[in-house]
Structure 1
Amino acid sequence: MNANVGSFLINSFHTPAIRHLAWLCQAPQLMRSPITFDPAKHLPANYPNILAAWDRNPSAAPPLLSEPPQRRLGFYFERLYQVLLDDLLGWPILLKNQQIQSNGRTIGELDFVVHNRADNRIEHHEIAIKFYLGVPEPIGHTLWYGPNASDRLDIKTARLLEQQSRRTELPETLALLAESNITGPLTPRVFMPGYLFYPDVPQAITPHYVPDEHLRGRWMYVFDAKALNTSHWVVLNKPHWIGHWFQSEPPDAEHVLEALARVDTKAAPQLFAVMQENAQTGSWFETDRIFVVPGSWP
């Protein structure tokens, strides 16, 4: 699946936070597991109408959607997820970002403990939004790194499934839940949407646990990007890594060249959207997204 997932729905909203929330409601995940959580299976059929009403009248929208985005994308993503649970699904949030203590030190944290009203059960949700770039290895497999290369898809997936989602089994967590009159067992759920970015050559191998419908982009080194015509690219900064980008004005070619120069000098990856003009409306919409990385990466 490409960057156009649900773009017709998402691009109908003027408020960025509501576009991001609409994307979250339908984005495929980066892992396949019996405990993954699919919001689309539980959302009310009229949820696009609810989002449209909030878009028309921002004062009627949940206050969290009007707060400025935090600098860290993960915190902003958590805020959107809270609106999804609380305001779209109507599931009470019993605990959020609850630290687990043992002998005076923090040994973990619970992202969300919620009451799933559809199935009438208490669930523990661990969430993340991730962007990984595939680096083919000489021995025939591919390592998938985050843009800062200190994060890896295989490690994060194992941690989510084997550690984070199982924290409610710890005696310290059970005691913490009992203090809030929450009795187990809790059903673990994991939600990790995002993108995998593929190199043009050589071919990257998709992990077996990643669903076929995952969102895809491309990545390249900055010296390759500088050789291309990038006049139809735009710079994507957080929090607009979430969702599908569109804009009414034409791309700013000079802005892109400046961003490419920064990748070179500051040795930091940068995300771009490849844009195409809608001949009927004159607006520009995303058709692909590309991570550009410095020559030293990863």
Structure 2
Amino acid sequence: FWLEDGFARGLHAFETLASNIQLYNDKQTVGELDLILYNHVQQQTEHWELAIKFFMGSQPFAPQDWVGINSNDNLQRKMTYMQNKQFRSVWVDTADHGRVKIDKRYGVIKGRFFLPVHYTDFTYPDWLEPTFPMHEWCDINDKTTLADLDKSSLRQAHYIEWFTKRDFYDEHQSLSSLPLGSTGQPPKAGLYFIEERPLVIYPYVSASSENKL
């Protein structure tokens, strides 16, 4: 919507030629392309793949060390899949613009990165923008660290808050889950907030422990 509305209003130069294009091999679906755009400034057709990801990091913080909530998913695997699978198409058939040739390809990955709780020695790698915000995660099996958390201020996030914290839920506790520890319950897997600070509590499986991805 942002791309189409912005182009119609003259706010940017990217015209949407097609979106969510199914790829077939002998009538079997083998993939999908997110966006095919025409860049009117560079006069080139671009293929954009979009992803929203939440990755928990561990040392030495290489791309394969950032693991998703699904332990089979990590940053290295996602980037490799984009480049080797989703970026293979050169010509694309569109419904409104016929067959177009792809000139450039971009992978756009948005989301959140979480460092181990209380980790202080992190150095941004050269592939990561140094202003990218870092949050924290705690292994649900780390009983010692969990015992030290101030559970009275730990509030479990609502689904929509995986993207942006909503103070509405702080102000209306009757619509929110009670602060963790108020009923003595142990933490469940998920996203929490300690005041404004996001914290993921989740069973962590490192990439190195799952068959050396």
Shorter-chain TM range is 0.7 to 0.9
Residues 203 and 259 of structure 1: is their aligned pair in 2 closer, same or farther, counting only changes over 3 Å? farther
Residues 289 and 175 of structure 1: is their aligned pair in 2 closer, same or farther, counting only changes over 3 Å? closer
TM-score after normalising by structure 1 = 0.54
CA distance in 2: counterparts of 1:114 and 1:205, whole angstroms: 36
Paired-residue identity, %: 21
Amino acid of the structure 1 residue aligned with 2:98 = N
Q: Deviations over 1:36-74 (max 9, x none)?
A: xxxxxxxxxxxxxxxxxxxxxxxxxxxxxxxxxxxxxxx
RMSD between aligned residues: 3.1
The answer on 1:227 being equivalent to 2:148 is: yes
- The corresponding residue for 2:55 is 132
CA distance in 1: counterparts of 2:54 and 2:21, whole angstroms: 25
2:133 counterpart (209, 212, 215): 215
State the shift of 1:158 in Å. 2.1
Amino acid of the structure 2 residue aligned with 1:214 = F
Say which SS state the counterpart of residue 192 (structure 1) adopts.
strand
Q: Deviations over 1:203-226 (max 9, x none)?
A: 566554222122210011332234
Greater relative CO (CA pairs within 8 A, separation 6+): 1
State the shift of 1:125 in Å. 0.9
Q: Deviations over 1:236-280 (max 9, x none)?
A: 2333211343336176683434796362xxxxx3111222xxxxx
Say which SS state the counterpart of residue 86 (structure 1) adopts.
helix
CA distance in 2: counterparts of 1:292 and 1:196, whole angstroms: 13
CA distance in 2: counterparts of 1:94 and 1:272, whole angstroms: 40
Amino acid of the structure 2 residue aligned with 1:133 = M
Paired residues of 2:152 and 2:179 also in contact (CA < 8 A): no
The answer on 1:87 being equivalent to 2:10 is: no
TM-score after normalising by structure 2 = 0.73
Say which SS state the counterpart of residue 125 (structure 1) adopts.
strand
Residues 119 and 262 of structure 1: is their aligned pair in 2 closer, same or farther, counting only changes over 3 Å? same
Q: Deviations over 1:80-131 (max 9, x none)?
A: xxx2211234444322211111122222211111233444432211000111
The answer on 1:241 being equivalent to 2:162 is: yes
1:146 counterpart (52, 59, 68): 68
CA distance in 1: counterparts of 2:76 and 2:6, whole angstroms: 31
Amino acid of the structure 2 residue aligned with 1:231 = S
Count of aligned pairs between the two proteins: 191
CA distance in 2: counterparts of 1:89 and 1:152, whole angstroms: 34
Residues 93 and 259 of structure 1: is their aligned pair in 2 closer, same or farther, counting only changes over 3 Å? farther
Q: Deviations over 1:167-203 (max 9, x none)?
A: 322xxxx263498414223321221111111113485
- The corresponding residue for 2:200 is 291
CA distance in 2: counterparts of 1:236 and 1:261, whole angstroms: 16
Residues 131 and 192 of structure 1: is their aligned pair in 2 closer, same or farther, counting only changes over 3 Å? same
CA distance in 2: counterparts of 1:163 and 1:259, whole angstroms: 48
CA distance in 2: counterparts of 1:183 and 1:108, whole angstroms: 18
CA distance in 1: counterparts of 2:17 and 2:103, whole angstroms: 12
Amino acid of the structure 1 residue aligned with 2:114 = F
CA distance in 1: counterparts of 2:36 and 2:184, whole angstroms: 41
Q: Deviations over 1:125-181 (max 9, x none)?
A: 1000111111236xx9671111221211111122223432x2322xxxx26349841
Say which SS state the counterpart of residue 82 (structure 2) adopts.
helix
State the shift of 1:234 in Å. 2.4
- The corresponding residue for 2:46 is 123
Normalized per residue, the structure richer in strand is: 2
- The corresponding residue for 2:211 is none
Amino acid of the structure 2 residue aligned with 1:124 = H
